[in-house]
């Protein structure tokens, strides 16, 4: 028979502060349109806060718990919420290769469901997959310079690397060559994120009667 510890006033306050802090962080995260991802609406941030309050309110909020919640969101094809959660997970632990992989996967899934592919999401997805493919996260971080290094890949995770390279090939048409630097590869495959709009201003047509009066 297990004995549960009573919930004291101080433990309730601590839980409330944890939830409030996490919610505030996600609100700030969603409000920054120039952050690592897309524009996050107020309703989406509210949904994420509710998710944290209901599922993570009584556990430690870290990259792994956020990743588990993001996986659940992806099962229901809620990629917007998954991306918000994973973006926060990457912020908490940028060197976790599993978090980085799932983040890139969520971005790629969102692209797959877009008729007009968002170049910003595309570029972000490519950059994250490239970090995984070039082992710039995880145990081999720092073993290369701009993606190239001697003996790189001796301790790499083949599953992640193969998956990342396959995703890059699917997205861009080819995966980076062993001798190709990250900058060189990205210059070839990234899409311009800016668009230009042109318009022609037409003068109102003058009727024949008005034209005769003017003469």
Q: Give the distance from CA 141 to its chain's centroid.
A: 20
The helix/strand/coil state of 148 is strand
pLDDT in tens, 135-157: 888 766 655 565 565 455 544 56
Cα dist from 188 to 60, 71, 122, 184, 192, whole Å: 42, 32, 13, 7, 11
Q: Is the pTM of this model over 0.75?
A: no
Cα dist from 114 to 55, 62, 169, whole Å: 29, 30, 19
110: confidence class by pLDDT, cuts 50, 70, 90: very high
pLDDT at 30: 37
pLDDT of 158 above 50: yes
């Amino acid at each position: 028979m297990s004995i549960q510890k009573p919930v004291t006033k101080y433990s309730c306050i601590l839980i409330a502060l944890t939830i409030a802090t996490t919610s505030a962080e996600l609100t700030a995260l969603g409000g920054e349109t120039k952050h690592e991802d897309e524009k996050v609406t107020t309703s989406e941030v509210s949904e994420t806060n509710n998710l944290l309050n209901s599922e993570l309110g009584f556990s430690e909020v870290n990259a792994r718990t956020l990743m588990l919640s993001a996986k659940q969101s992806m099962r229901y094809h809620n990629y917007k919420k998954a991306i918000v959660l994973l973006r926060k997970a990457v912020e908490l632990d940028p060197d976790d290769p599993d978090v980085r992989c799932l983040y890139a996967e969520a971005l790629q899934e969102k692209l797959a469901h877009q008729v007009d592919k968002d170049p910003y999401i595309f570029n972000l997805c490519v950059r994250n997959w490239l970090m995984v493919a070039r082992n710039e996260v995880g145990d081999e971080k720092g073993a290369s310079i701009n993606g190239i290094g001697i003996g790189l890949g001796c301790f790499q995770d083949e599953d992640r690397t193969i998956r990342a390279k396959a995703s890059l090939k699917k997205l861009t048409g080819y995966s980076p060559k062993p001798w190709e630097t990250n900058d060189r590869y990205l210059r070839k495959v990234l899409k311009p994120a800016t668009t230009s709009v042109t318009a022609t201003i037409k003068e109102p047509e003058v009727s024949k009667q008005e034209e005769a009066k003017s003469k």
